[in-house]
Amino acid sequence: MEYALITGASRGLGKAIAERLAKEGYAVIVNYNNSEKAARETVENIEAAGGKAELMKLDVKEGSQVDAAIEAWEAAHPEDYIAVLVNNAGVREDSLLVFMQDEQWDKVMETTLGGFFYLTRRVVKNMMTHRNGRIVNISSVSGLTGMQGQCNYAAAKAGLIGASKALALEVAPRKVTVNVVAPGFIATDMTSELDQDMIKKTVPLGRIGKPEEVAALVAFLASKEAAYITGQVISINGGVC
Ligand code: NAP
């Protein structure tokens, strides 16, 4: 059976992506780190809609946790493989660069770039063996244009784009695609403290985006129909840039 693993699927975009990929027929692995209750709700929603889902707790920043969890999953699923990987887990630690602390820089880098590296390195191997795979990495408009107070976040999200383009070239001969989705402002916990009027004024389409809208784009990139799209960055931002 083909599984889809979504990192950070307890809340926000990851939750919406997991629920959408389950509707597309994938058995879904719901990764979480701290929010166990919310992750269980994602699984329950999927099962209530007739889908198949299981939990995977790991901190994407910790390579040893990633290796142990994937190894255990593979041992428990000898007939299955992860055909879709969505590297979605991410954090913001905003600060002007002059005031930014080492921990703020490291946490954002390690979550976005460390997480991408540790998980993808493990999972892409089996995709290559099966000559089939879809990797979708969640970047941000901040990684394309920069944003005040986000030197750490913008660097991590821009780095994710570079890494995705390099990996796309490496794995294309094995029919594995690697693409990036770059959302603008989307209504999740991450944006709940932002000035909603500011968002409406900044966005040409005049509203914040919905997690389900990002999930629909990810589902397309994960589909068989997207087989000829790789190494691309697709923005979903209401026309911001
Ligand atoms: P969110 O509501 O804050 O949710 C973040 C998710 O990431 C949670 O499920 C959290 O899991 C998980 N996570 C964080 N650190 C983790 C770690 N070390 N290991 C495993 N999971 C971890 O954020 P969101 O808005 O859904 O954002 C999802 C992605 O979209 C992020 O990469 C973000 O940068 C990107 N993005 C969001 C927006 C937006 O406007 N919302 C715009 C552009 C890009 P736990 O709670 O279980 O720890």
Choose the residue to mutate in 91, 109, 161 for probing ligand 1, maximizing ligand atoms within 8 Å of C-beta.
91
Which of 97, 134, 178 shows the shortest CA–CA distance to 21?
Answer: 134
8-state DSSP, 224: G
In the prediction, which pLDDT does 241 show?
77
Q: Give the DSSP per-residue string, 178-220.
A: EEEEEE-SBSSGGGTTS-HHHHHHHSTTSSPBPHHHHHHHHHH
Domains annotated for the chain, with CATH where assigned, are 2-236 (3.40.50.720)
Tokens of 143: 């990684």
pLDDT digits (tens, 9 = 90+) for 50-97: 999 999 999 999 999 999 999 999 999 999 999 999 999 999 999 999
pLDDT tens digits, one per residue of 169-191: 999 999 999 999 999 999 999 99
- List residues with catalytic annotation: 153
Q: How far is the CA of 120 from the centre of ligand 1 (A)?
A: 17
> DSSP character for 50?
T
Spacing, Cα 10 to ligand 1 middle (Å)? 9
User: Residue 223 carries which DSSP code?
Assistant: S
User: For the whole prediction, is pTM greater than 0.85?
Assistant: yes
